[in-house]
Amino acid sequence: MTSPGPVADIAALQAQIDEAPYHRLVRLVVEEVDAEHGRFVLRLPFSGTLTRHDEGKQVHGGPIASVIDTAGTFAVAAMVGHGVPTMNLRIDYLRPAVDSDLVATAVVRRAGRTTAVCDIDLHDGEGRLVAVGRGTWSTAAP
């Protein structure tokens, strides 16, 4: 079976994102895709439901990890042309994300026949680096 190739259509990728109930709940938005170069940008709009405490505005680490994982997954999937499962994910939290949309920029470092490596930077609305992630994804055709 051959891969259909890179997917570069933002609307098609947004539709794929929106298929997951969790993604709809947190309202993930595809901002940019460059499948040929393995770049994918995803925005997580701020919501009080994502915070650590009812009275605070600091985003919980779970949604941060989730948007990093999702951005990496879609960067690799857009490049290889099919869904890819995460094999491993590491996240370094660098500063609190407070009362701000978060933007994840994923860059595929290498996509091979069976595995891909992707780095993801997460910035707040003022451009400050909040967290960085690196993951591996299985690229074997389904």
Query: What does the pLDDT average to over 103-123?
Result: 98
**Per-residue three-class SS string for the chain:** CCCCCCCCCHHHHHHHHHCCHHHHHHCCEEEEEEHHHCEEEEEECCCHHHECCCCCCEECHHHHHHHHHHHHHHHHHHHHCCCCCEEEEEEEECCCCECCCEEEEEEEEEECCCEEEEEEEEEECCCCEEEEEEEEEECCCC
pTM for the complete prediction? 0.91
The domain spans of the chain are: 10-138
How much is the pLDDT for 31? 96
How much is the pLDDT for 95? 97
Does 3.40.50.300 match the CATH number of domain 10-138? no
Return mean pLDDT, the chain: 92
pLDDT digits (tens, 9 = 90+) for 4-62: 556 778 998 899 899 999 988 899 999 999 999 999 999 999 988 888 888 779 999 89
